[in-house]
Amino acid sequence: MGRAGSAVEVQEGRAVTPADYRVLDGDVPVLYAPRLGAKALEVRDYLGEGCMALSGMLSVEPPGISALLVADEDWKDAPRDNARPYPPGFPYFTRSVEPPALVLPEELSPVFGPRTAATLPLTCWHELAHAFLLAREVVKSPAWLGELVPQAASAAIAGRAHLSLEDHQLQVDREPEFTVRNLRGPAGVRDQMSFQNLLLVLASAALEEFGEDFLRRLFYGLWEEGEIVDEERAEELLVDALGPGGREWLASRPEF
């Protein structure tokens, strides 16, 4: 299933995963705790599917990255951009190691939901999309735009993989006390999850209305942007990516 391999390393060469982690080769190599071999296979296949889909949609080569499937007991030592560990069960993408890595927990935090057959692949594809986007320099933008991109990418990959999101989205709370643009300040984890779910609903609807080309235009729009993106510019970038009728459609969306 896997082979023994050297850990991903930080720039100074310090190993950041235990020596007994194994390597599963693929489009995105997966380093994993030995007892997580079955899940590593699943993750490897989702990431391979996502790489092929996003490379095709964007006409780019996949970024040179790896994935770490981290056992609960090793979470505090996983590579990260910040000094403090991320909360247990929350996946993330880090450029603090070489190659950059998707860091995936043994089990997702209970706050992740809805829990359906789509939850794990969507999570893998979301972090993969961050890696694709950050393979080039990207200026700072409002949180809703920065997170809309990976949610739209996840939904687009699901479409290519023939993974229906209907059941998943039927379980989403579509009427939280905020829209994707007015969630302000430090948000609790449940509000953050509701925020991500609203973005997934919005992104899925945009793909259905405007097709995959909207996602490609949004990626390239952000890659080509040279100045910090404020709220007004963020909306313009999204409208331009949607294309004709995009402004009117966006105004009709309750999530926005």
Tokens of 150: 């990976």
Q: Are 215 and 223 in contact (CB under 8 A)?
A: no
Sketch the domain layout of the chain as residue ranges: 3-109, 143-251
The pLDDT tens digits of the residues spanning 159-184 come to: 999 999 999 988 887 777 788 888 76
pLDDT greater than 70 at residue 210? yes
Q: What is the DSSP string of 102-131?
A: EEEESS--TT--S-STTHHHHHHHHHHHHH
- Tell me the CA distances in angstroms from 161 to 41, 50, 167, 208, one per residue in order: 17, 9, 16, 15
Q: Are 150 and 129 in contact (CB under 8 A)?
A: yes
| Residue 9: pLDDT band with limits 50, 70, 90 | very low
* Measured torsion, CA atoms of residues 82, 132, 212, 47, in degrees rounded to the nearest 10: -90
Distance CA 224, CA 136 (A): 10
Q: What is the mean pLDDT of residues 140-166?
A: 95
The predicted structure's pLDDT at residue 173: 78
The pLDDT tens digits of the residues spanning 37-77 come to: 999 999 999 999 999 999 999 999 999 999 999 999 999 88
| Residue 17: pLDDT band with limits 50, 70, 90 | low
* pTM summary value: 0.90
Tokens of 119: 């939850």
Distance CA 3, CA 27 (A): 16
Tokens of 47: 């990431």
